Structure 1
Amino acid sequence: MDLSTADPDAVLDVLDRRLVCALQVDGRAEPGRIAEALGVSARTVTRRLARMRQAGVLRVVRMPDVEDAAVGALLLRVRVLSGRVDAVAQALADRPDVPFVDVMLGGHEVGAVVLTGAGARDRLLYGQLPATAAVTETTTHAVLHAFADAGQWRAGHLTGEEVAALTRPAVPRPAVPRPAAPGPAVPPPLDDLDRALLERLGEDARQSHAVLAAAVGAPESTVRRRLHRLDGLGLLRTHATVDPRLLGMAVDANLWLEVPPGRLSEVGSALAGHPQVHGVFATSGPTNLLATVFCADHGELYRFLTDTLGPLGAARVETTITARAVKRAGVSLRQPPRRP
């Protein structure tokens, strides 16, 4: 299913933006709970959310756990011949193991996030990309630590009290045993029903228990118990996918930072807490920290660089600006037709 972005010259009104922010806090929140937290009627919430979803403005999907999925992920910067960027971007977006794809300003670079095993990774990096005549260069960064990802970003149109009212109580997460030899934690055991539920929520995280039960052929009570367990395992994180321009944020920038190793944790944590930042990752490669930032305009991006980033003491910063998002959180984005 494609998500058609709305007219970039349009914006959501104040209540629409607040509803999007409510789903950023809890993508599975019931209309009644959203209504109570925001001080509007449940009918209004239901009608507004249905209108945005039907218009292709908003979609809520499940995101992988940031600790389990992000570390070891690949951040690709693919340089492409002029005129071939759309084909390369779409080829990457068609892969199920690539949840994020952007075309960068200038039309010669595609950015992508790859979540895959070693075999598929090697085929992509050492076979498929080099064999593509349109690709001139590929830079690969491995994620070493995730300070924040897109599922944790909040657009900032809610008060602290409203966010608290919408935040679900934390489900105690069981300790996951690690193998005797050094390596990643052993993933929790999932059966066919768990995987079926997660797959359905990856397409639409707002499906009700009854709809999910009918889809997977299990009793509703069983589905409720399974979702509670999966939530405790950190597997029900959600992402409210919306064109940031509709929230008043016209500029999406990637900041590739070179930070002294001794300050990497300090700088990453400071940026992760900033409301304009929607992702911060320590990486391998030519730079060691990536921060992704939403800004209202280029002037606000300049102020972020000088006033927020400047005092943190990065030795070098490369700023790249997203011209077009192709895929976000596994959701393909189809751009609106150009005006004549």
Structure 2
Amino acid sequence: MANPKSFKSLISLSGRYFSGRERTLASVCLLAVIVFSFASPYFATVDNLSTVLRNSVELLLIGLGMTLLLAMGGVDVSVGVVMGLAAIGVGQLLNTPLDPTITALAGPLIGIIAGLITACVVVLGKIPSIVGTLGLYGVYRTAVFALLGGQWLSGLPATLTQRLDTRLLGLPVTAWVIILAYFLVWLALRRTPFGPHLLAIGHSPDKARLSGIAVTRVRFITFIISGALCGLAATFYVATYRNVEMTIGSTLALEAIAAVVLGGTSIIGGHCSLLGTVLGVFLLRILQNGLLLIGVPSLWQTVVTGALLLLVLIAEVATGRLRYSPWMMRLKRANGRLPS
């Protein structure tokens, strides 16, 4: 018979490393897997679950960047088309004699340039991020159509795919890159001044500025990081599908925001959860995959995503959690100068 103390220790351990929202999301993911496993004989197969994981890669990377942006009190609705532009660049370079590793780095580089442009428009132009990035969305979307010339970029060489599928200590290079990206973002948030400063800006830019935080610099860096992650997502997208379609990234911004907010990041800034974002991404992809397997039209996937986002926001407004910003206490302890 199991020792009750072991269960208490397990609960205590989970409470230490996982928030209530993260535990709830993990439970919902598990419940969704169980339900869809009974609803469709094709769901709980190795091939299908591998597909779910593979389809989560781009959204996960973009979600990490969106987590930083929302925590800062900003947003970027152009992330999908930024990925599209970077994907076109990577795809075009694949048709040249360049080494696949150099081609892979082109994605993040293009993303960094796009992030820098976004930062200039939003931060230097002092334009609300949702307005500025909505305008850039239109510009970038037109650029995607112009660069593709009304046709798909298809039939790309498999050299990049083969390079990223190379096994290293039992895992493909793709998995190691994603783990590294998550670790670096986590490290920046938890072990450097960037994290408390970012969340202080999300809580109150004016108070953050009065406390001596370089608000403009932090915002610039955050948009550039988000752009780099979009570009990295583009590299994996091209490596997986070996084509770039006209509508690439059309729903990614909505999905990224939904996953991040589901994970517990405040949509008005001041609080974030990277693990919550990962779980939110998995939940969205599990639901989309499961609904498709049981015969629900793909059009309803966007409806489900939007409905989940609205439900979470309504719940947070009702409970007052939108005003909750626990990381502000960390900033106060760090410098003791933030006005109350």
TM-score range, shorter chain: under 0.3
Which has the higher relative contact order, 1 or 2, with Cα contacts under 8 A spaced 6 or more apart? 2
TM-score (norm 2): 0.23
* The structure with more helix, counted as a fraction of residues: 2
Q: Which has the higher strand share?
A: 1
TM-score (norm 1): 0.23
